[in-house]
Structures are given as C-alpha cells and as structure tokens.
Amino acid sequence: MKYDLDTLPYREGVYAIILNQSKTSILLVKKENSDVWGLPGGGVDNNEDYIKSLFRELEEELQTIKFRTMHSCTTPYSYDWPESEIEKNIIKKGKAMRGQSQNFYILLFDGIDTDIKLQAKELKSYTWAPLNKLSTYITYPSLLKHLKFCMNEYNLKVV
C-alpha cells in the first residue's frame, strides 16, 4: 500500500507510571506475546478524554482503579513504527498510522497487591520495579530517557 509517512497521524495512547505508596518503585507489566517490561495503558478511543481512557485501560488490564493521579507529563513520547507494523495496523483497524504518541501520567497506587488481577488474554505478569534499578527493566533507551524526564518533572529521581 502506498502512503506518505510524513502525513500519517500517530495513534494516541495513554500510559501509567504507577508508584507504590513509598514512591520507590513503579508497576511494570509484561504482555502475553512479549518478554519486555512495559507500562500499563493503551489506546485512546475516538476522541475520548485521556484520563477517562487511562482509567478504562487500567480497569481492563489490572481489574482495579485504586489510583490517584499525581502528575500529567508535559511531553508525549512519540515513535514511528516499522513498515510491517503500519501494514498490520491498516489490516486490523483500517487506518494508516505512522506510530504511537504516548501520554504518560504518574499515579499513586492506593490498593494492595491482591487488588491487581491481570487481564488474562493480554498480560502475563507484573512486578514492582525499584526506581534505582529501572534501567535493568526498561530495554528501550529512548523510553527510559522519557520516563526519567517525566518522573523528574514530578521531582522523582531515577538512576
């Protein structure tokens, strides 16, 4: 299929940097089809409000909404998909998009671990990653840099 990459829109997404009560770790998840740690969240549906979208995604993926919004990161994290992913998205959704623009929110978890029940068809595991070891969990350097930027806005230091 022919398309001009520069004119394609980004898929809008919302993702949660969920802090534990002591603000020393964040919640990371692994998808069923991946061995890479990432943040819970997902796509924004049809001009949906970002916060409503985020809490919808969290309820779907983690089966809880026991979170308080602490900070909205000022800059989204955007990246382009490889051509194969663009083609897959066209087939799946009927839309040509160049990549994803992820809007990050820092949340505080107000529950206990047993409140978290992973969506079986999408997620296989979760962990609390210590902020001082985040670089051992996040494998994409540009994502790690952006997470540090967002957490720095909220006065959290990440090593």
pLDDT at 1 (0 to 100): 61
SS3 (DSSP) at 71 = strand
- Angle 56-76-48 from CA coordinates, rounded to 5°: 35
pLDDT at 86 (0 to 100): 87
pLDDT at 60 (0 to 100): 97
Average pLDDT, the chain: 93
- Angle 110-120-105 from CA coordinates, rounded to 5°: 40
pTM of the model: 0.91
Is the domain 5-153 a CATH 3.90.79.10 member?
A: yes
Under a CB-based contact definition with an 8 Å cutoff, are residues 48 and 136 in contact?
A: no
pLDDT in tens, 86-100: 888 887 878 888 999
How far apart are alpha carbons 41 and 104 in whole angstroms? 9
CB burial of residue 27 (10 Å; 0-12, 13-18, 19+): buried
Domain boundaries, the chain: 5-153
Q: Which residue has the higher pLDDT, 93 or 25?
A: 25
Q: Which token pair is 88?
A: 């897959």
pLDDT at 22 (0 to 100): 96
pLDDT in tens, 127-155: 999 999 999 999 999 999 999 999 999 99
Helices (H) and strands (E) in the chain, counts: 3, 8
pLDDT at 7 > cutoff 90: no
Q: What is the CA radius of gyration of the chain?
A: 16
How far apart are alpha carbons 31 and 119 in whole angstroms? 10
pLDDT in tens, 96-125: 889 999 999 999 999 999 999 999 999 999
CA distances from residue 78 to 24, 96, 113 in whole angstroms, order as listed? 26, 16, 31
The type of residue at 2 is K
